[in-house]
Structure 1
Amino acid sequence: MPKILQLTPFVLCSSLKDQIDFYCDRLGFTCGFTQDNYAFLKRGPVAIRLLECPPRDDGKPLGEEHSFYIDVEDIDGLYDSLRDRLADLPEGRVRPPFNQPYNQREFHVLDEDGTLVFFGAGL
């Protein structure tokens, strides 16, 4: 059977530049490719695809109903390495590491268009 390599979510955004800046400057991704309304970003084995889209008809943020989960080995170490980059985000955009009842330790970050990015590691 052919091997599946990875899952790469599409993240909708209202400004490709703002989202590239957010994921690269705040979360440590690098931009490997950009063209028109599309960008491919990567951090280690994790990749995302940004897609700039027109605003929603209802006026809600593009990412409001979207989220994705990134599994990591050292959740506290990752958070500590990103803490200064995340410090000046508006209140409510970052939830520091905490333990979940389902045996995961997580922290959460909202991107520029309201997509919730979960980072987590098993306890």
Structure 2
Amino acid sequence: MRKFLVISIPICTIVIFILIMQSGIFLKYSSVGDDNIPKMIEKIMENISEEHWEEANKNTADLKEAWSKIVFRIQFSTERNEINDFSVSIARLEGAILARDKSSAFMELKEALQHWMYLGK
């Protein structure tokens, strides 16, 4: 029995760690729906194209809040650089919205969406 435990406990621990490290692709999506990043990005794009800057600013704050929830779930399974790149895109987006610069805002939104697609892969 002791030999079985000595072998099985490390193997089970390693398997659990591997599952955690590979779970980023699944954990970035929520079953609740209040942190659907691609949908939020589309909504911000619509706001910017219609030049509703206050609404875009509010939706960007919601995006930032949703991102903070997702980071908590994926922090162990995603590279830190990927997380930082998405966070920087959101920060730049906030600046572009404050400056009311359509082209910069669209560039940052597309870049954020690209980071989102490759997050956890």
Q: Same fold (TM over 0.5)?
A: no
More strand as a share of residues: 1
Q: Which range, TM-score by smaller chain?
A: 0.3 to 0.5
More helix as a share of residues: 2
> If the length of structure 2 is used for normalisation, what is the TM-score?
0.32
Instruction: Using CA pairs under 8 Å that are at least 6 residues apart, name the structure with larger relative contact order, 1 or 2.
Output: 2
Higher-Rg structure is: 2
